[in-house]
Structure 1
């Protein structure tokens, strides 16, 4: 099944008309701004393999935008612009933008700060994204299961990538920490991993970590802990790997934070397979030059992989 949707067509309405089967659903989005109803939750929960892509192949010309958040629809699987449910098998998204336009109004997360652009709420399926842009503020991308993001742009300010994944690979992507609209001096975090027990978690390969200038006293970290991971817990492991990535010097050189010991980290020390770890990291300076990362500055829970360990990890997470 193949269909082209104009900006006047409703993606949610089209999803509701599909019968569950093994038939591929292929959607081409015409250029322009595709908007749902106010605070609409666009939800796909079918076994049919799904491909959505822009007709032009240019993410800057084709966007799905809407405002949704915790204040409007409670729980993670309900507050994204676009959500994929537990019945999904294979989802491919190519060359368009998904933006949650919600703007934070206060410090109370229950009043709406959490606002995903995309939620892949499927532990058994696979998600592949190529040439996509994902824009929001807090919790921009949430993933379960297995996912692969290639040549994508992701922006947010707090935990803007997170989830209970087996592994989620970001390859040749740009991860951009933006200003917090409530104040540029607030701490920022790219990731909060709640990976499955003993699984690779979030793996970044040849990626760029960039950031708005939030002032010299701003604290920007690659990752922080959720604080409840344990040896026998099903998930909530703090597993993030950086392989041959470039990180702006606006980020804290510790890379990771347990927020001054207030959040437990598990594994307590990274290893080749799990926990906080890196290999081949470069620091990108304001003048555009690169320098080797000083691994002695890495936070105490972090680990530096060997070249062979990094190679084996790449083999393990091949999509």
Structure 2
């Protein structure tokens, strides 16, 4: 099933929300939502009952879904703040979601020292979700990789503070991670809280660059797990590499690994002693699609592109 969205009226719907609302609940077949080029100022929610949805944009001129909510934005009948979870411009609770050639954006600026500035561009809470040639623009907490198995391929992710965070089990392949930090910040804040949980972020063949000084990760959870392999790390990466977020008790619990990375930021001389330089054998579980059980659910995106 194919439906189209175009602001000029040349599609089935003028807004993405209208298109999503038209999809039957508990759908079992993939539905393609073709989004024409343009800037869509709307908050999009895909509930658990709407599986197998694919948002598809034009590769040469991708559509932008944009918003500016923050954790402290007051909204709703109770007059309370949205909090980080509800600040997302696009929130996906459904399984088997896909996005191809789409820009997700939250334009709320990060103010150093402010409280409640978390401003999520996309939150992915469903499992077996994949993103191809997508962009995620934000500042504080850009991409909420909340939970589930996720795959990001050829994506651009921009932010300052903890701009990839959550406790998803995710593989980022050929992605470009750009810091817009003015001071010191962190690329990831991974929340694995128990050694028996399989979650973790694996970055393979990526690029880490931008402004400010950054940690590759800081431990949101006691057993936080992040691996960078075959990745170019620019000079903005601090010599220490990783942060325990001020809790020394995490030093022996976190799993922060680097494997065959390059660039000035890959110099291991000043790394914290609890960071790991992975051997071939140690890196192997994290550097293929098998890390996210990809052979059981990933599909070829080329069949769905315009």
Specify if TM > 0.5.
Answer: yes
Corresponding residue for residue 291 of structure 2: 317
CA distance in 2, matches of 1:156, 1:240: 18
Structure 1 residue matching 2:148: 3-state secondary structure: strand
1:255 deviation in Å?
1.1
1:174 deviation in Å?
0.5
CA distance in 2, matches of 1:158, 1:94: 26
Contact 1:76 1:119 in 2 (8 A): no
Residues 111-137 of structure 1: per-residue CA shift (max 9 Å, x gap): xx1111100123xx2110010010000
Residues 198-256 of structure 1: per-residue CA shift (max 9 Å, x gap): 425000001000112x4xxxx32111122x52xxxxxxx21000111110012112210
Contact 2:28 2:52 in 1 (8 A): yes
Structure 1 residue matching 2:263: 3-state secondary structure: strand
Q: How many residues align?
A: 275
Corresponding residue for residue 302 of structure 2: none
Corresponding residue for residue 218 of structure 2: 224
Contact 1:156 1:178 in 2 (8 A): yes
Corresponding residue for residue 241 of structure 1: 227
Contact 1:269 1:303 in 2 (8 A): no
Superposed, which structure 2 residues align to 1:1-319 within 5 Å? 1-7=1-7, 9-20=14-25, 21-36=27-42, 41-45=43-47, 46-54=49-57, 56-58=58-60, 60-72=61-73, 74-85=82-93, 88-105=94-111, 107-110=113-116, 113-122=117-126, 125-143=127-145, 144-165=147-168, 167-179=169-181, 184=182, 186-195=183-192, 197-198=194-195, 199-212=198-211, 214=212, 219-226=213-220, 228-229=221-222, 237-259=223-245, 262-264=246-248, 266=250, 268=252, 275-284=255-264, 293-315=266-288, 316-318=290-292, 319=294
Uncovered stretches (5+) of structure 2, i.e. residues with no partner: 9-13, 74-80, 295-306
Contact 2:19 2:33 in 1 (8 A): no
Residues 65-113 of structure 1: per-residue CA shift (max 9 Å, x gap): 121111225233311000012xx12011011211111123462323xx1
Contact 1:163 1:193 in 2 (8 A): yes
Distance 1:30 1:310, change over 3 A: same
Distance 1:109 1:90, change over 3 A: same
Distance 1:169 1:34, change over 3 A: same
1:191 deviation in Å?
0.5
Stretch deviating more after TM superposition (306-315 or 154-163): 306-315
Structure 2 residue matching 1:13: 3-state secondary structure: helix
Instruction: Give the TM-score of the pair, scaled to structure 2.
Output: 0.83
CA distance in 2, matches of 1:197, 1:105: 32
1:147 deviation in Å?
0.6
Distance 1:121 1:75, change over 3 A: farther
Residues 171-209 of structure 1: per-residue CA shift (max 9 Å, x gap): 000000013xxxx2x211111000263425000001000
Corresponding residue for residue 78 of structure 2: none
Contact 1:67 1:101 in 2 (8 A): yes
Residues 130-167 of structure 1: per-residue CA shift (max 9 Å, x gap): 100100001111121111100000000000000022x1
